[in-house]
Amino acid sequence: MNNGRLSLTARMSLMFMSAVIAVLAVAGLSFNMLSQHHFKKLDRQALTEKLESTRNILDKQRSGSRLHDELPQLSALLGAHQDLTAIILSADGTVIFSDTKTVDVPDRFRRAGEQEMWEWNDGEHLYRGMTGRFLVPGQAQPLTVVLALDATSHAHFVETLQRWFWIGLIISAMVSAALGWVVARSGLRPLRQVTRVAASMSARSLQERIPLQPVPLELQQLVASLNAMLARLEDAFSRLSNFSADIAHELRTPLSNLMTHTEVVLTRKRDLAAYEDNLYSNLEELKRMSRMIDDMLFLAKSDNGLITPERAEVELADMVAKLFEYYQLLADERGIGLSASGSGSVVGDRLMLERAVSNLLSNALRHTRPGGTIAVAIGQTEAAVTLSVENPGDTIDADQLDKLFHRFYRVDPARREGNPSNAGLGLAITRSIVEAHRGRIWCTSSDGLTGFHLELP
């Protein structure tokens, strides 16, 4: 639904047409003004030359009695120009000379100033003229010479030029609009291709990408951003699909155990001890499901930014020592040593940070061979505090290090676990806690030594 708005193609076409019209209008008006100026300059030059020639002829006569002797020469000079009208008046207004093309020049122009070109319209004719006053020998008063040039042909030329200019402007506007539409539509073809590809995307085709080769340089950044968005969507959708499958897998096992134990107990009458054993077994499975649900709720809150850590100073060395006391018995049973070094304090939620480090220690205990040692190192700088938990064990491939923090992800493709209570959510919860404290966590693994590193502000 476009809500009455013009398409981008129509807008670009209108802009192109407007630009062409503006350029042609400026060029046409400039040419029209230059043409009028040129014709006025030619007319002024012609009138000035005729006045000067008339002055030279009148200056030759020596007395008033010989003025009429110059009339043939004046007639030859002034009458040779087909469009020129000439009138010579005495001081009292008597017409001394006029050619056969005499027009009725208004009186106001007979009294006009010298070297001033005037013009007037007489019907369909346009006249331009000049008035000169010459003091002739033998005449007490100066004579007035009025020259009028018929500039109708020049006016018609300008009118024709203007008419064709407007016709050409209308045609140019239509042609430029059509060309602008073609150019805009052709230029926007890659954008339409991108739109079609984006519209055809679905959950089953998220692996497709928009090709960059046919896309213009201006749209490559947009296409690259769309491809990056598709990659993120594909990764998120894949993780969501795997998450759903993992939830079903993890919940199916305890539910199956509950159903099996209950069905076995109900096959025949049993004594009270048998029922108690079955209830205790069911309780263990229910606790495991409860913990899994609590963990998933915690992660859901984390994803929606609903986790708000408390703000208290936490001494990491003391917290690690407390956790060592909790895990010491389990470590002794497996023949694993625990060591800690360094110190540092952060401002955060003590319970959340204990849970994060506890998850790392629990994970290290599951993957450390007997005789190995889990080392916890704490370091502090002006900007951040680091905490590392390293343990000897199998080296993890580099392409799987980031996936360790995904929910229900296990390096073992067969989904074997060291502890049936482990649901594969510990590292995901740890990352959520660290990110809630505006920190970061990463994993390194090389030469049989795996480490998880926390950095907190």
**379/216: higher pLDDT:** 379
CATH 3.30.450.20: which residues of the chain?
8-174
For 8-174, which CATH superfamily applies?
A: PAS domain (3.30.450.20)
pLDDT at 65 over 50: no
Residue 122, strand partner residues? 125
* C-alpha span between 277 and 338 (Å, rounded): 36
Q: Mean pLDDT over residues 44-58, rounded?
A: 80
pLDDT at 408 over 70: no
Model pTM?
0.48
Cα 132 to chain centroid, rounded = 70
Query: How many of the other CB atoms lie within 10 Å of CB of 263?
Result: 9
Domain made up of 312-456: CATH architecture: 2-Layer Sandwich (3.30)
Using an 8 Å Cβ cutoff, are 113 and 86 in contact?
Answer: no
**452/81: higher pLDDT:** 452
* Residue 79's pLDDT band (cuts 50, 70, 90): low
- Lowest average pLDDT, out of 162-171, 262-271, 294-303, goes to 294-303
For the ranges 21-25, 197-201, 396-400, the one whose mean pLDDT is highest: 21-25
| pLDDT in the model for residue 88 | 79
- Lowest average pLDDT, out of 6-20, 321-335, 436-450, goes to 6-20
* C-alpha span between 196 and 198 (Å, rounded): 5
Q: Mean pLDDT over residues 257-263, rounded?
A: 80
Using an 8 Å Cβ cutoff, are 79 and 155 in contact?
Answer: no
Residue with tokens 């209008």: 25
* C-alpha span between 402 and 315 (Å, rounded): 28
Average pLDDT, the chain: 78
CATH 3.30.565.10: which residues of the chain?
312-456
Token reading at 314 = 């936490």
| pLDDT in the model for residue 418 | 39
pLDDT at 199 over 80: no
* Residue 304's pLDDT band (cuts 50, 70, 90): low
Enumerate residues 6+ apart whose C-beta is below 8 A from 302: 429, 432, 433, 435, 436
Residue with tokens 């040779």: 80
pLDDT at 15 over 50: yes
CATH number of the structural domain 217-303: 1.10.287.130
CATH 1.10.287.130: which residues of the chain?
217-303
- Lowest average pLDDT, out of 47-51, 152-156, 246-250, goes to 246-250
